[in-house]
């Protein structure tokens, strides 16, 4: 039954993810969020590598729409942050970037799409540490409705992975949990709690 609607669900997932990213980009331009440009640039490269490796090994599949929108969105968020001169870069961010690049090198050595996806998830998590820290310590700098909208996108993507290989589930599940984390730590209630402490 879900397979009959896979194309439609993936297009909807792409629309939700694109909307979430557009909201975040507008918030970057308005300077209501201040992204870590190294994190978003690293995510752009990593998701692009994972997407390319899966396409090379398995061919195009509509469940990859989320990967495609994610790679493009991360690229545009990093570019708009740079162009608007509204971003953060801390010395420790370079360490996370180096660790993320190490995961890409592991992929080059292995040339296996499953390993690439696992390395990308690990590297993505490592690159996300500056954003996690900002969300925990100063949640207002990462407050965005985009996190909630992205949750819907990744749920739709996961639904379309039904009866597919494990590799198609891994990145969407990771992204779902990442966005849930960001949504929780940047919620209005959490921001008030941090401001009161």
Kindly tell me if the per-residue pLDDT of 120 is higher than 80: no
Poorest-pLDDT segment among 75-89, 105-119, 129-143, 179-193? 105-119
What distance separates the 2 farthest-apart alpha carbons in the chain? 51
Q: For residue 88, what are the β-bridge partners?
A: 36
pLDDT of residue 3: 67
64 by Cβ neighbours in 10 Å (0-12 / 13-18 / 19+) ranks as: buried
Pick the residue with more confidence: 99 or 44? 44
pLDDT tens per residue across span 22-72: 999 999 999 999 998 988 988 888 788 778 878 988 899 888 888 899 999
Q: Confidence band (pLDDT; 50, 70, 90) for 1?
A: low
Q: How far apart are CA 46 and CA 166, in angstroms?
A: 19
Q: Do residues 10 and 63 make contact, with C-beta atoms less than 8 angstroms apart? A: yes
Model confidence pLDDT, tens digit, residues 146-194: 999 999 999 999 998 877 888 889 989 999 999 999 999 999 988 888 8
Q: What pLDDT, on a 0 to 100 scale, did the predictor assign at position 126? A: 84
């Amino acid at each position: 039954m879900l397979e009959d609607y896979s194309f439609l669900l993936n297009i909807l997932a792409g629309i939700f993810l694109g909307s979430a990213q557009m909201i975040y980009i507008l918030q970057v331009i308005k300077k209501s969020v201040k992204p870590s440009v190294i994190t978003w640039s690293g995510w752009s490269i990593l998701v692009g590598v994972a997407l390319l490796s899966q396409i090379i090994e398995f061919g195009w599949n509509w469940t990859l729409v989320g990967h495609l929108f994610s790679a493009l969105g991360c690229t545009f968020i990093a570019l708009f942050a740079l162009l608007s001169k509204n971003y953060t870069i801390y010395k420790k961010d370079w360490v996370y970037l180096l660790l993320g690049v190490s995961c890409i090198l592991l992929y080059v050595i292995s040339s296996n799409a499953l390993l690439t996806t696992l390395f990308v998830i690990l590297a993505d998590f490592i690159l996300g540490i500056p954003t996690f820290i900002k969300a925990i310590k100063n949640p207002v700098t990462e407050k965005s409705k985009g996190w909630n909208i992205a949750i819907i996108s990744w749920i739709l993507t996961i639904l379309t992975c039904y009866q597919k290989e494990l590799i198609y589930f891994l990145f969407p599940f990771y992204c779902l949990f990442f966005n849930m984390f960001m949504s929780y730590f940047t919620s209005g209630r959490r921001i008030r709690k941090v401001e009161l402490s």
